[in-house]
């Protein structure tokens, strides 16, 4: 053994304890470094240029979504009417830009004229709120959202092209699945391959099953297969996406009626819901569209989308009042949290700018 080996051997204990101390210090430093994530910005912030996942409540989301309708139409009425010279003409003009049907505009003006004089802007806003609530409340209450009955619930989603059907189904499927339901989706917009692919992406993200057919296949056949599988395998929800425009000679309403009829062969109760997706931006045309769909398919509810992009979110009042079909869901954006069950009081208070405690 040479001198060096002798020296090392004699001081072995010193070296071992040195290693332990240094190792411990390094481990502590690494741990501290890991913990030192800056706390001045959210750790789940999105990459630059990508919309950050906003962690805000539904009430805040709804308020943001209805901002345009509130600032351009419904929130202005109190101030317009409460001054020295209340101007009904100006209010009338504003209401028409919101696509409120003529009859309702006149009714609201009469109410303001009778009950609003000398009142504060906030009291006038309350009158507007009460007026809309009176028009919608009965319809909203008599038609409840389908309850938690044991059997499979089949929901057929209809509407014109671009209204937001596929997106809404994606959001609904995600929500229902996250609530612990077994969900299956039928891709019945077989006329556009892109539509089926778009739905597939949503379904994969949500982790739900999707039934698809070859491009150009008969949509009612896909609906039949999906509902049959849903019943056989005890799914809780079966969501049926449909086309909004057909690239064939077949009339859209005829095709949709057929799709609905085919499902009822499996169970006369199916579909338990036929929901029309209506785009708030559609304006005047929305009521006409809704009437046509209702005549052909006996709608059980409406899903009102894109309320965030338009000042016409108040047109919902006219649609519910004239069709006597309730709004069941409302969409105020493209993310999954932007779809929510419709709450009449919250919606109207947010629209006119009243406290929503």
Residues that bind Mg ion (CB under 5 A): 165-166, 195
Residue (of 164, 60, 79, 67) closest to 119 by Cα position: 79
Q: How far is the CB of 194 from ligand GDP (least distance, A)?
A: 9
At residue 208, φ and ψ (nearest 5 deg) are -120, 155
Residue nearest to Mg ion (CB): 166
Q: Which stretch binds ligand GDP (CB under 6 A): 82-90, 177-185, 257-265, 329-337?
A: 329-337
Asked if 222 contacts 211 with a C-beta cutoff of 8 angstroms, the reply is yes
What does the alpha-carbon distance between residue 280 and residue 311 come to, in Å, rounded to a whole number? Answer: 8
Asked if 329 contacts 341 with a C-beta cutoff of 8 angstroms, the reply is yes
DSSP state string for 291-347: HHHHHHH---EEEEE-TTS-S-TTHHHHHHHHH---EEEEE-SSSGGGEEE--HHHH
Burial of 185 (0-12, 13-18, 19+ CB in 10 A): buried
Binding mask 252-291 for ligand GDP (x = CB under 6 A): -------------------------x--------------
Q: How far is the CB of 211 from Mg ion (least distance, A)?
A: 15
Does the footprint of ligand GDP cover residue 305 (CB under 6 A)? yes
Does the footprint of ligand GDP cover residue 163 (CB under 6 A)? yes
Pick between residue 116 and residue 170 the one whose CB is nearest to ligand GDP.
170
Q: Return the residue of 271, 301, 326, 333 that touches ligand GDP, per CB under 6 A.
A: 333
Residue 101 binding result from ligand GDP, Mg ion, none, given CB thresholds of 5 to 8 Å by partner type:
none
Pick between residue 256 and residue 332 the one whose CB is nearest to ligand GDP.
332
What does the alpha-carbon distance between residue 150 and residue 152 come to, in Å, rounded to a whole number? Answer: 7
Q: How far is the CB of 206 from ligand GDP (least distance, A)?
A: 14
Residue 86 binding result from ligand GDP, Mg ion, none, given CB thresholds of 5 to 8 Å by partner type:
none
Does the footprint of ligand GDP cover residue 190 (CB under 6 A)? no
Q: With H, G, I as helix, E, B as strand and everything else as coil, classify residue 273.
A: strand
Pick between residue 260 and residue 349 the one whose CB is nearest to Mg ion.
260
Q: How far is the CB of 147 from ligand GDP (least distance, A)?
A: 25
Q: With H, G, I as helix, E, B as strand and everything else as coil, classify residue 60.
A: helix
At residue 57, φ and ψ (nearest 5 deg) are -75, 165
Residue 162 binding result from Mg ion, ligand GDP, none, given CB thresholds of 5 to 8 Å by partner type:
ligand GDP
């Amino acid at each position: 053994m040479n001198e060096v080996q002798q020296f090392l051997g004699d001081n072995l204990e010193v070296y071992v304890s040195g290693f332990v101390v240094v190792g411990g210090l390094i481990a502590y430093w690494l741990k501290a470094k890991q913990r030192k994530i800056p706390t001045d910005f959210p750790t789940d912030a999105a990459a630059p240029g990508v919309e950050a996942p906003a962690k805000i409540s539904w009430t805040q989301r709804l308020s943001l979504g209805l901002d345009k309708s509130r600032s351009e139409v419904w929130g202005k009425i109190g101030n317009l009417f409460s001054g020295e010279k209340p101007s009904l003409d100006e209010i009338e003009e504003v209401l028409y830009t919101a696509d409120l049907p003529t009859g309702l505009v006149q009714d609201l003006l009469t109410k303001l004229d009778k009950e609003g004089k000398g009142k504060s802007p906030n009291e006038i806003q309350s009158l507007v709120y009460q007026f809309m609530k009176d028009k919608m409340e009965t319809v909203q209450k008599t038609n409840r959202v389908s309850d938690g009955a044991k059997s499979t619930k089949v929901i057929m989603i209809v509407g014109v092209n671009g209204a937001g059907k596929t997106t809404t189904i994606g959001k609904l499927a995600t929500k229902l699945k996250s609530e612990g339901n077994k969900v299956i989706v039928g891709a019945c917009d077989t006329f556009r391959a892109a539509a089926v692919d778009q739905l597939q992406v949503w379904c994969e993200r949500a982790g739900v099953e999707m039934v698809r057919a070859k491009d150009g296949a008969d949509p009612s056949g896909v609906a039949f297969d999906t509902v049959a599988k849903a019943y056989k395998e005890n799914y809780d929800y079966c969501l049926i996406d449909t086309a909004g425009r057909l690239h064939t000679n077949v009339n859209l309403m005829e095709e949709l009626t057929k799709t609905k009829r085919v499902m009822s062969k499996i169970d006369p109760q199916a579909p338990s819901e036929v929901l029309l997706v209506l785009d708030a931006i559609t304006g005047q045309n929305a009521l006409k569209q809704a009437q046509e769909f209702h005549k052909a398919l006996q709608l059980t509810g409406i899903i009102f989308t894109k309320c965030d992009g338009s000042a016409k979110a108040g047109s919902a009042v006219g649609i519910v009042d004239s069709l006597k079909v309730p709004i069941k869901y409302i969409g105020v954006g493209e993310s999954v949290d932007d779809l929510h069950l419709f709450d009449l009081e919250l919606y109207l208070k947010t629209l006119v700018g009243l406290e929503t405690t």
